[in-house]
């Protein structure tokens, strides 16, 4: 369980793209805490300078402001790197419906550039962020790798394309790639602000400010919310995974199922707030239910998530209360 016991060769160097974002900055922190070197490549388009500044006094950390849409930037950033953890992308299903061309360039070309840069620099492992959205309208639960439906958004399409490109790089160029299909990640440093913010940090912040959060739909939709520590474990274990598991994608979740309305009530109770939500319309491109079968990641990556949803939520609430 967990990742703190994992050992990499001495002087191992990681590149985290999107390292000034929510998941990337948590990856950087975990790698630094384990005593290894990490370079963060981020264009600060949705990430924050402060998520890089917190590590700048650590000699094992370097920050490069750069865009993965630029191949030369990617090739330079991969020089001397052993493991790439590619997180840089734009999230949000509704925003991708508004900006399909940008999503194609940023999320697909950006990933292809990083794959090519990793190949040219002979990195050992290329681990990248995919998404549960690749299951599209497949109705069966739990979601299982190999049983995907029709894609419901440009965002989902970018992640599916990334998986296919990564497979090509494993097949033709021998680059060990591992796609991690994250299911609704939450935890410290996730941005609560803006129209495209994720529900958990957004609700916590609104409730702390005595505002009424809006639930899209009836609140009876369910998700496999996954605490950030489990995602860190998956990334680091993928770096140590065998060659035989390369060229594939894996569900990364806890394997639970939480209803939005229940989360809402847990939050109001934990924060001591008596606030009724506003019920808004359903969001385009959203599915009603999602939860993951994680047995493939357990078997191939030795992934064994340590934090249940309830444990993660408690830790997140404490963090947001301290970091208002
Ligand atoms: P985030 O927005 O907090 O982080 C993404 C980071 O990538 C930001 O710092 C941003 O500035 C950077 N970035 C974006 N485009 C870039 C570019 N062209 N060049 C360089 N940097 C760029 O989002 P996150 O929640 O940390 O997501 C990280 C990854 O995980 C993304 O690939 C996302 O699609 C994927 N993902 C996240 C979730 C989730 O629940 N958070 C679920 C599924 C998949």
Q: Compute, in angstroms, the gap from residue 179 CA to the centroid of ligand 1.
A: 14
pLDDT in tens, the chain (324 residues): 889 999 999 999 999 999 999 999 999 999 999 999 999 999 999 999 999 999 999 999 999 999 999 999 999 999 999 999 999 999 999 999 999 999 999 999 999 999 999 999 999 999 999 999 999 999 999 999 999 999 999 999 999 999 999 999 999 999 999 999 999 999 999 999 988 899 999 999 999 999 999 999 999 999 999 999 999 999 999 999 999 999 999 999 999 999 999 999 999 999 999 999 999 998 877 788 999 999 999 999 999 999 999 999 999 999 999 998
Q: Which sign, positive or negative, has the C-alpha torsion 137, 139, 144, 147? A: negative
Q: Tokens 């917190």 correspond to what residue?
A: 54
Q: Compute, in angstroms, the gap from residue 69 CA to the centroid of ligand 1.
A: 14
Q: Is 259 an annotated catalytic residue?
A: no
Strand, coil or helix: 125: strand
CATH architecture observed for domain 13-186+226-255+287-307: 3-Layer(aba) Sandwich (3.40)
Q: Domain locations in the chain?
A: 13-186+226-255+287-307
Where does ligand 1 bind, in terms of residues with CB under 6 Å? 17-18, 20-24, 42-47, 67-69, 87-91, 106, 110, 129, 131, 182, 184-185, 191, 198
Stated pTM of the model:
0.97
Helix (H) or strand (E) holding 259, with range, is strand 258-259
Rg, the chain, Cα only: 19
First to last CA, the chain: 31
Q: Is the Cβ–Cβ distance between 166 and 179 less than 8 Å?
A: yes
Interatomic CA distance for residues 132 and 319, integer angstroms: 26
Q: Which of 36, 103, 135, 155 is catalytic?
A: 155
């Amino acid at each position: 369980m967990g990742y703190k016991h994992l050992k990499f060769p001495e002087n191992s160097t990681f590149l985290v793209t999107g390292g000034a974002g929510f998941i990337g900055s948590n990856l950087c922190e975990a790698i630094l805490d384990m005593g290894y070197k990490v370079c963060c490549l981020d264009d600060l388009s949705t990430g924050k300078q402060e998520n890089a500044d917190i590590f700048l006094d650590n000699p094992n950390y370097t920050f490069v402001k750069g865009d993965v849409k630029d191949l030369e930037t990617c090739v330079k950033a991969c020089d001397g790197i052993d493991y790439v953890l590619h997180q840089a992308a734009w999230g949000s299903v509704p925003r991708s419906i508004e900006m399909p061309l940008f999503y194609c360039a940023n999320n697909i070309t950006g990933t292809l550039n990083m794959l090519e840069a990793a190949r040219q620099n002979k990195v050992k492992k290329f681990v990248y962020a995919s998404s549960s959205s690749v299951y599209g309208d497949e109705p069966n639960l739990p979601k299982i790798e190999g049983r995907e439906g029709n894609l419901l958004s440009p965002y989902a399409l970018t992640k599916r394309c990334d998986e296919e490109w990564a497979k090509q790089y494993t097949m033709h160029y021998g680059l060990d790639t591992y796609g991690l299909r994250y299911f609704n990640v939450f935890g410290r440093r996730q941005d609560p602000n803006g129209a495209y913010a994720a529900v958990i940090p957004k609700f916590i912040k609104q409730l702390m400010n005595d505002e009424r959060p809006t639930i899209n739909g009836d609140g009876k939709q369910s998700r496999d919310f996954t605490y950030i520590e489990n995602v860190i474990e998956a990334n680091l274990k993928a770096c140590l995974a065998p060659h035989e598991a390369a060229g594939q994608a894996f569900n990364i979740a806890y394997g639970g199922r939480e209803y939005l309305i229940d989360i809402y009530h847990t939050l109001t109770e934990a924060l001591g707030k008596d606030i009724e939500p506003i019920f808004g319309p359903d969001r385009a491109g959203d599915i009603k239910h999602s939860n993951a079968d994680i047995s493939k990641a357990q078997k191939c990556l030795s992934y064994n998530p340590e934090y249940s949803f309830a444990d993660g939520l408690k830790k997140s609430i404490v963090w947001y209360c301290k970091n208002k």
